[in-house]
Structures are given as C-alpha cells and as structure tokens.
C-alpha cells in the first residue's frame, strides 16, 4: 500500500447489483486504485461489502434505497462522528462535498459530475429543495480543486453556471471503448 488514502463518496450500495453508470464508475475506480496500492474507503449506503473487494466500505446508512437527502444527512453524521483520514475526498455530486468542509479543505477535494442533477431535483422536489441544492452545489464546486465531467454537455452547463470555477473543470475519459470490445464478426 502507498501512503495515499482516498475516500470515494457515492450514494450507492456496492453489495446490490443495480444498473447505473455512477455505481459502475465508482466501483471500477475503487478497484483500480486499490490494485495500484492506494488505500481506498468507499462511503456509501447499504452493504455489507463482499469480503472479496479490495477496498474498505463504510455505510452511512443501512438503507440501500436511501434518497439523496437521507444519504447527505447520514454522510454529515459519519463525518462528524468518525475520524476519517484521507488525502483525497472524491464525491460524485457537488452537494456531497459540503459535509467535509471545513475539516478537509487542505486535502485534495475532487468531484466527478455524472450529469446535471438540478433539473431532476427541481422536477421531483420543487423550487425550495432545488434552491437548497443549488446553494450546496455552489459551495461544493467552489471548494473542489478539480471537477471531472463524464460528458461535454454537463461541462458546458456547469461552465455557464460557474464561469469563475471553469479553470478547474476537466473532461474525463470514461466508458467502454466500443472499438476494443467488438467481436471479429463485427469487423
């Protein structure tokens, strides 16, 4: 193991197989970093984690169907009650970075944006919740050292929303290389 400690934060249950790009991304990243000798902890929901996984898992809540709001509240409690040690905090949503402030401002604060959550929050929860989310989003984006984007559309949206932070926005190359996975009969 290296001395690098990375905490991945995502409202996913690593023990339950459910389709989802964020879950696939986070578990793939956790496994890759662990294979490179990095000490990885995943803060998520549900569990317990399979003994075969090469990373640590802390459930913020045992409820594997927890909403984003429940995950966020549970995350705050975990951060307050546990003594987390980490060189990098990597969240999958801007609002999930906020519970780590100000205690972790000196570490590498990174987030990956998997699409713009704001329209869905506005549709499902209305103007009050979307305004509350927007305040947390603003604080999270401002605090991050790097913001990775899995698609160019989301980067464009966030660049317009936060032009003062666009210098720290980075395109991420994620997904499946379809050329590499094609069978011989497809050629």
Query: Is-above-0.85 flag for pTM?
Result: yes
Sign of the alpha-carbon dihedral angle for 115, 117, 122, 124 = positive
CATH architecture entry for 5-175: 3-Layer(aba) Sandwich (3.40)
Secondary structure class of 42 (helix, strand, coil)? strand
pLDDT of residue 68: 85
pLDDT tens track, the chain, 187 positions: 558 999 999 999 998 876 678 888 999 999 999 999 999 999 999 978 878 899 999 999 999 888 888 998 999 998 888 778 899 999 999 999 999 998 888 889 999 999 999 999 899 999 999 999 999 999 999 999 999 999 999 999 999 999 999 999 999 876 544 444 444 444 4
Least Cα distance to 72 among 30, 100, 102 occurs for 100
The bridge status of strand 39-45 relative to strand 56-61 is parallel
């Amino acid at each position: 193991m290296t001395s690098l400690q990375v905490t991945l934060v995502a409202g996913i249950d690593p023990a339950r197989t459910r389709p989802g790009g964020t879950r696939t991304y986070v578990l793939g990243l956790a496994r890759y970093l662990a294979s490179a000798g990095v000490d990885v902890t995943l803060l998520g929901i549900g569990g317990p984690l399979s003994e075969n996984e090469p990373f640590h898992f802390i459930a913020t809540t045992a409820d594997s169907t927890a909403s984003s709001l429940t995950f966020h509240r549970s995350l705050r409690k975990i951060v307050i009650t546990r003594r987390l040690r980490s060189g990098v905090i990597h969240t999958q949503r801007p609002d999930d970075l906020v519970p780590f402030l100000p205690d972790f401002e000196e570490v590498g604060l990174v987030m990956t944006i998997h699409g713009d959550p704001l329209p869905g929050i506005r549709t499902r929860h209305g103007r009050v919740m979307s305004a509350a989310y927007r305040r947390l989003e603003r604080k999270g984006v401002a605090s991050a050292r790097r913001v990775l984007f899995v698609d160019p559309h989301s980067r464009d949206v966030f660049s317009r929303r936060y032009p003062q932070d666009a210098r720290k926005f980075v395109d991420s190359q994620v997904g499946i290389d379809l050329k590499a996975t094609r069978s011989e009969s497809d050629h």
